[in-house]
């Protein structure tokens, strides 16, 4: 009884208890690990193949000619043979095929073949890609034995890193995982501890309020960072997620995850203070998480959004976390290179904790 | 009973909420190593008084010392020497009893053996159970175990037997008496007079935020009898509860 009271022991005991509790809470595990992994799985298998253009071959078309042979060699074009005219017409109208091709021997001699291509207005974008593929292909076929008179094109490709879908999706999912753990987890825990008088019972012990917040924080951050490592490891080894500088990149990502999590936990504190009952936590939390989930470049690049929507996206903290994560992971940026993104996150953090201090309730 | 030193001293305690006065100038002492009961109907101010002594609530005015420490300046010293059982308090979710006791040992910063603590309240076989899965009586016993972690000088029990069946109540009385016999002062609230009569060394009647009387149960009864009071019905040598306990047994039950 005479030894001085240790706040550190109290904080660590709380952290341990909280961590055990989180690990046994199905919702925490589902939101932090299962959801992001499912999305990564789906997009990991979907992505990577690039654009494919379906091109139907007309039933009456000649198949033994250099044009069809050359098209079969183009990886971007998928030739659909053995379909009858009616099927092709239907598919064209729906935009399932980009075009139909019909190659015929020219009875009058030169040129040796005539190529008829019919595009569909239902799939103009792919049609245009196909158009340039065909132009390119016919040009090289036609000029095979001809010496160019004006200029010869010499093409080469710089060998760069392959940007896979996973390189875009994984940081987004990681950000979402941190957002949901931070907001939902923190909000639920502090609300239920308050509601069930667990915190009141804590107050009857010599523990300090700051120890309670830190203990909870350590547990939640520990759990979320373990989740992040798990997601990164699965992404890297199963879906070839790019980690330019290996371990250093992972560490940088974890630092970003930590900063993001602190900000998101601030939202959680606010929600737990605002909620009047347990059932109001999910709607309030969703108001915070869903817009960020959809608008912060989790699934699609913000650049793809209409221009009136982009300012909203650029106001959200998750946008900057995702952005920084992608720069660090794929472009190999250092933390100093993403200082702008970090700064925005910190500004959000200051703002949200200012609100949290006002609305957070202990009892 | 010989007079002992006061371990808790409450003087002119007042607690006001806006225009409602919950506690209106209460004064009493609790002596070392006794079981002291605050009795009274719901809303009389028992819990408020207790929580102010436990340093969980601010008082409006008055003076309180616990083991010589003032609630105003030494709240943390008081917290280290008391054990508190709250009315209807919950415990950290998803943890079993052993883990909860480990948590509290950290919060009090003391080393304990969780199984030994559970042994004191006869819950060893529930070590791996969750608090929520316990019966009413087991929950109260576990709550009492958490109050004993820091080997406190005083424990506070707020309506420890409310809602329990007769066996569970009697088991709890035995447990509380053992704790007192081991040298701990016990302050409890109840609205059961039979409980106060059996269990408490001294009681205070609280009504509308004021103390009407403080004395030993025996002295209070004797005073009333001496004043000429008689029960309307002649008292039988046993009551219905005695019959119930006699017929259903007094042993510890798995579910209480």
pLDDT (0 to 100) of residue A161: 67
Using an 8 Å CB-CB cutoff, list chain A residues near B56.
Answer: 200, 203-204
- Per-residue pLDDT at B54 exceeds 90: yes
How far is B49 from B68, CA to CA, in rounded Å?
18
- DSSP string covering A161-216: ----HHHHHHHHHHHHHHHHIIIIIHHHHHHHHHHTTHHHHHHTTT--HHHHHHHH
What is the per-residue pLDDT across A176-206, written as a single tens digit (0 to 9) for each?
888 988 888 888 888 888 888 899 999 999 9
List helix spans (H) across chain B. 46-53, 75-81, 97-108, 114-120, 136-147, 166-181, 193-199, 217-226, 240-248
Residues in chain B whose beta carbon is closer than 8 A to a beta carbon of chain A?
54-56, 76, 79-82, 84, 86, 88-95, 99-100, 102-109, 146, 150-151
Tell me if B219 sits within 8 A of B89, measured CB to CB: no
Given CB atoms, is A210 within the 8 Å cutoff of chain B?
no
- Residue B121's SS3 state is coil
Task: Indicate the residue of B79, B99, B100 with minimum beta-carbon distance to A204.
Answer: B79
How far is A107 from B116, CA to CA, in rounded Å?
102
pLDDT (0 to 100) of residue B216: 93
Tell me if B156 sits within 8 A of B54, measured CB to CB: yes
Top mean pLDDT of A150-154, B102-106, B222-226, B237-241 is at B102-106
More confident residue, A276 or A19: A19
* Radius of gyration over every alpha carbon of chain B, rounded to an integer in angstroms: 19
Confidence class of residue B1 from pLDDT cuts 50, 70 and 90? very low
Beta-carbon contacts below 8 Å between A and B: 86
How far is A300 from A172, CA to CA, in rounded Å?
9
Question: Residue A216: which residues within 8 A CB-CB, separation 6 or more?
Answer: A14, A15, A18, A186, A189, A190
Which of B80, B56, B67, B86 lies closest to B152 in space, CA to CA? B80
C-alpha distance from residue A249 to each of A216, A228, A232, A252, B145 (Å):
27, 13, 10, 5, 49
Report the gap between the CA of A261 and the closest CA in chain B (Å).
23
Report the gap between the CA of B155 and the closest CA in chain A (Å).
11
Among A204, A207, A208, A211, the residue to mutate for chain B (most B Cβ within 10 A): A204
pLDDT (0 to 100) of residue A36: 83
Look at A25 and B86 and tell me if their CB atoms are within 8 Å.
no
Given CB atoms, is A21 within the 8 Å cutoff of chain B?
yes
Which of A183, A182, A331 lies closest to A258 in space, CA to CA? A182
What is the per-residue pLDDT across B235-255, written as a single tens digit (0 to 9) for each?
778 888 888 888 887 665 555
Using an 8 Å CB-CB cutoff, list chain B residues near A19.
Answer: none
Given CB atoms, is A196 within the 8 Å cutoff of chain B?
yes
- DSSP string covering A303-349: GGS-TTTHHHHTTSHHHHHHHHHHHHHHS---GGGGHHHHHHHHHHH
- Per-residue pLDDT at B62 exceeds 60: yes
Instruction: Give the global pTM.
Output: 0.78
Confidence class of residue B158 from pLDDT cuts 50, 70 and 90? very high
pLDDT (0 to 100) of residue A2: 61
In this prediction the ipTM stands at 0.88
Token couple for B153:
């000088």
Report the gap between the CA of B250 and the closest CA in chain A (Å).
31
Given CB atoms, is A339 within the 8 Å cutoff of chain B?
no
pLDDT, mean of residues A47-52:
62
DSSP conformation class of A278: G
Tell me if B198 sits within 8 A of B218, measured CB to CB: no
Which chain A residue lies closest to B51 (C-alpha atoms)? A204
How far is B152 from A331, CA to CA, in rounded Å?
60
How far is A48 from A50, CA to CA, in rounded Å?
6
- By the 10 Å C-beta count (0-12 exposed, 13-18 middle, 19+ buried), A64 is classed as exposed
What is the per-residue pLDDT across A28-41, written as a single tens digit (0 to 9) for each?
888 778 888 888 88
Using an 8 Å CB-CB cutoff, list chain B residues near A14.
Answer: 103, 106-107
Confidence class of residue B125 from pLDDT cuts 50, 70 and 90? very high
Q: How many helices (H) and strands (E) does chain A have?
A: 15, 4
Which chain A residue lies closest to B77 (C-alpha atoms)? A206
Which chain A residue lies closest to B102 (C-alpha atoms)? A13
Which of A234, A263, A251 lies closest to A354 in space, CA to CA? A263
Which chain B residue lies closest to A24 (C-alpha atoms)? B94
Which of B60, B121, B125, B115 lies closest to B85 in space, CA to CA? B121
Please, which residues bridge with residue B214 across strands? B204
Report the gap between the CA of B66 and the closest CA in chain A (Å).
14
pLDDT, mean of residues B120-127:
91
How far is B40 from B24, CA to CA, in rounded Å?
14
> β-pairing, B6-17 with B20-31?
antiparallel
- Per-residue pLDDT at B81 exceeds 90: yes
How far is B99 from B107, CA to CA, in rounded Å?
12
Asked which of A75-79, A288-292, A356-360, B40-44 is least confident by mean pLDDT, the reply is A75-79
What is the per-residue pLDDT across A213-246, written as a single tens digit (0 to 9) for each?
899 999 999 999 999 999 889 888 888 777 877 8
Asked which of A8-17, A68-77, A275-284, B205-214 is least confident by mean pLDDT, the reply is A68-77
Question: Residue B190: which residues within 8 A CB-CB, separation 6 or more?
Answer: B37, B38, B39, B159, B160, B161, B162, B196
């Amino acid at each position: 009884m005479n030894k001085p009271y240790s706040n550190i022991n109290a904080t660590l005991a709380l952290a341990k208890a909280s961590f055990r509790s989180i690990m046994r809470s199905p919702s925490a595990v589902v939101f932090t690990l299962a959801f992001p992994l499912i999305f990564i799985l789906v997009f990991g298998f979907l992505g990577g193949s690039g654009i494919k253009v379906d091109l139907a071959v007309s039933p009456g078309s000649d198949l033994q000619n250099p044009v069809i042979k050359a098209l079969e060699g183009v990886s971007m074009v998928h030739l659909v043979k053995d379909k009858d005219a009616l099927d092709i017409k239907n598919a064209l109208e729906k935009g399932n095929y980009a075009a139909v091709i019909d190659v015929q021997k020219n009875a009058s001699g030169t040129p040796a073949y005539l190529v008829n291509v019919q595009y569909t207005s239902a799939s103009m974008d792919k049609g245009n890609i196909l158009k340039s593929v065909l132009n390119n292909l016919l040009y090289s076929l036609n000029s095979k034995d001809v010496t160019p008179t004006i200029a010869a094109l010499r093409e080469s490709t710089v060998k760069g890193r392959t940007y896979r879908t996973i390189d875009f999706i994984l940081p987004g999912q990681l950000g979402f995982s941190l957002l949901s753990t931070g907001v939902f987890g923190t909000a639920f825990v502090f609300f239920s501890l308050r509601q069930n008088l667990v915190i009141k019972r804590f107050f009857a012990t010599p523990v300090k309020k700051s120890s309670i917040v830190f203990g909870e924080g350590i547990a939640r951050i520990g759990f979320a960072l373990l989740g992040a490592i798990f997601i990164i490891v699965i992404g890297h080894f199963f879906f070839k997620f790019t980690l330019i500088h290996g371990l250093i990149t992972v560490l940088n990502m974890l630092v970003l995850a930590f900063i993001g999590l602190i900000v998101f936990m601030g939202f959680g504190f606010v929600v737990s203070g605002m909620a009047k009952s347990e059932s109001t936590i999910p709607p309030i939390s969703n108001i915070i998480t869903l817009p960020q989930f959809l608008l912060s470049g989790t699934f699609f690049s913000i650049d793809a959004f209409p221009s009136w929507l982009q300012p909203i996206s650029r106001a959200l903290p998750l946008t900057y976390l995702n952005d920084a994560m992608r720069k660090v992971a794929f472009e190999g940026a250092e933390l100093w290179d993403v200082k702008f993104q970090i700064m925005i996150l910190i500004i959000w953090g200051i703002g949200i904790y200012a609100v949290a201090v006002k609305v957070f309730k202990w009892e | 009973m010989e007079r002992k030193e006061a371990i808790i001293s409450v003087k002119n305690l007042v607690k006001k909420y806006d225009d409602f006065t919950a506690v209106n100038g209460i004064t009493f002492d609790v002596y070392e190593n006794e079981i002291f009961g605050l009795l009274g109907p719901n809303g009389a101010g028992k819990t408020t008084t207790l929580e102010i002594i436990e340093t969980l609530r601010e008082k409006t005015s008055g003076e309180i010392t616990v083991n010589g420490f003032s609630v105003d300046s030494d709240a943390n010293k008081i917290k280290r020497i008391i054990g508190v059982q709250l009315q209807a308090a919950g415990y950290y979710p998803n943890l079993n009893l052993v883990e909860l006791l480990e948590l509290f040992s950290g919060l009090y910063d003391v080393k304990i053996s969780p199984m030994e603590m559970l042994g004191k309240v006869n819950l060893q076989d529930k070590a791996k159970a969750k608090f929520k899965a316990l019966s009413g009586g087991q929950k109260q016993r576990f709550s009492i175990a958490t109050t004993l972690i820091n080997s406190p000088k005083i424990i506070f029990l707020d309506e420890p037997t409310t809602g329990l069946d007769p066996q569970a109540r009697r088991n709890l009385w035995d447990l509380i008496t053992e704790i007192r016999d081991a040298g701990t002062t016990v302050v409890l609230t109840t609205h059961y007079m039979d409980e106060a009569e059996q269990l408490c060394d001294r009681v205070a009647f609280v009504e509308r935020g004021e103390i009407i009387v403080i004395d030993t149960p025996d002295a209070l009864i004797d005073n009333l009898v001496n004043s000429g009071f008689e029960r309307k019905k002649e008292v039988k040598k046993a009551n219905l509860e005695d019959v119930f306990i006699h017929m259903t047994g007094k042993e510890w039950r798995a579910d209480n």
